[in-house]
Amino acid sequence: MLLSQNVKYTIRSIAYLLIGLVFITPLLWMVSTSFKYENQVFERPFVFVHWDQMNWANYKHILMDTAFPTWLWNSVFVVIISVALRLLLSALAGYAFGFLKFRYSDTIFLFFLTTMFIPYQLTLLPQFISFRFINLLDTHWALIIPNIVDILSIFLMRQFFLSFPKELVHAAYIEGSGIFRSFMKVALPLARTPLLTLGLLSFFMIWDQYYQPLIFLHSKEMYTIPIGLQSFQTQFGKQYALQMALACLAIIPVLAVFLALQKQFIESIVSSGLKG
């Protein structure tokens, strides 16, 4: 019986390993190509890495001779401001809809939920017209403002505050705290788990946005990384090694954030599931 379980475990592990290799192969090829010269990219037979001929000049060219540092800073700025404001607004709205329960709150929230059925592409033209009218085109605020309000984030925070222990806030009321102070001192610190989950998901989603910067930005110094990658590919369409080096540099911030917070992210998912 024990031998049978070990065999099943081994087979399952091998199957998972093979599936993992299938998914990670494009990433490995990207990293491998980034260290090659152009005449080595499609060589036969394929060599994963030429250890004696590693081409570090690709990365030097990206960092020194392109606008990649500017694109990176633009993306970091847009993502940090967008995520911070989204989390704050989602927590406030979720607390209002889920805990305070004001008059017609359920009806208003239901109206908010119906906006999720509107395709995102349909909102781009009205946004473009509005931003042109208030002179926000070709600014980073044209990317930040549409990301501040996220109905799904508000919904998740509302679900959290629906089961929030009211005794804690009532105790703060007795000690003289108002609604906003009790929210900041009691409710918000205890909402760390769902906020961390939403923060990571929002980070990944906003970082990869392509259509907004494509439509709202036209100055190259304002580009974020996704639109910068597209413009670089247009300019260096046949230089695959350079493109892969740029792609490797572009995913470093995403990997760094995930690796730094993966333990907390997994714990937040597990704890949220147990509470639900």
Domains belonging to the chain, first-starting first, are: 2-55 (no CATH), 60-275 (1.10.3720.10)
CA–CA distance, 245 with 58 (Å, rounded to integer)? 6
Helix 192-207 and helix 151-162, axial crossing angle in degrees, nearest 10: 170
Nearest Cα neighbor of 186 from 81, 86, 91 is: 91
Query: What pLDDT is attached to residue 79?
Result: 94
Query: What b/e sequence results for 116-155 when a residue is b if at least 16 CB atoms lie within 10 Å of its CB, and e otherwise?
Result: eeeeeeeebeebeeebeeeebbeebebbbbbbbebbebbb
Q: Can you read off the two tokens belonging to residue 199?
A: 């923060």
Query: What pLDDT is attached to residue 38?
Result: 81
Burial zone of 57 (CB within 10 Å; 0-12 exposed, 13-18 middle, 19+ buried): middle
Give the DSSP per-residue string, the chain.
-HHHHHHHHHHHHHHHHHHHHHHHHHHHHHHHHHTS-GGGTT-SS--S--GGG--THHHHHHHHHSSHHHHHHHHHHHHHHHHHHHHHHHHHHHHIIIII--TTHHHHHHHHHHGGGS-HHHHHHHHHHHHHHTT-TTSTHHHHHHHH--HHHHHHHHHHHHTS-HHHHHHHHHTT--HHHHIIIIIHHHTHHHHHHHHHHHHHHHHT--HHHHHH---GGG--HHHHHHHHHHHTTT-HHHHHHHHHHHHHHHHHHHHHHHHHHHHHHHHHHHH-
pTM of the model: 0.83
Query: What pLDDT is attached to residue 89?
Result: 92
Helix 68-95 and helix 57-65, axial crossing angle in degrees, nearest 10: 70
Nearest Cα neighbor of 96 from 171, 162, 170, 178 is: 162
CA–CA distance, 266 with 233 (Å, rounded to integer)? 35
Query: What pLDDT is attached to residue 274?
Result: 39
Query: What pLDDT is attached to residue 267?
Result: 63
CA–CA distance, 10 with 29 (Å, rounded to integer)? 28
Query: What pLDDT is attached to residue 276?
Result: 42
Q: Can you read off the two tokens belonging to residue 11?
A: 């087979």
| Tens-binned pLDDT, residue by residue, of the chain (276 aa) | 555 777 777 888 888 888 888 888 888 888 888 888 888 887 778 777 777 788 888 898 888 888 899 999 999 999 999 999 999 999 998 888 888 877 888 888 888 888 888 888 888 888 999 999 999 999 999 999 999 988 889 998 888 888 877 777 777 777 777 777 888 888 888 888 888 888 888 998 999 888 899 999 988 889 999 998 888 877 766 788 888 888 889 888 888 888 887 776 666 655 554 344
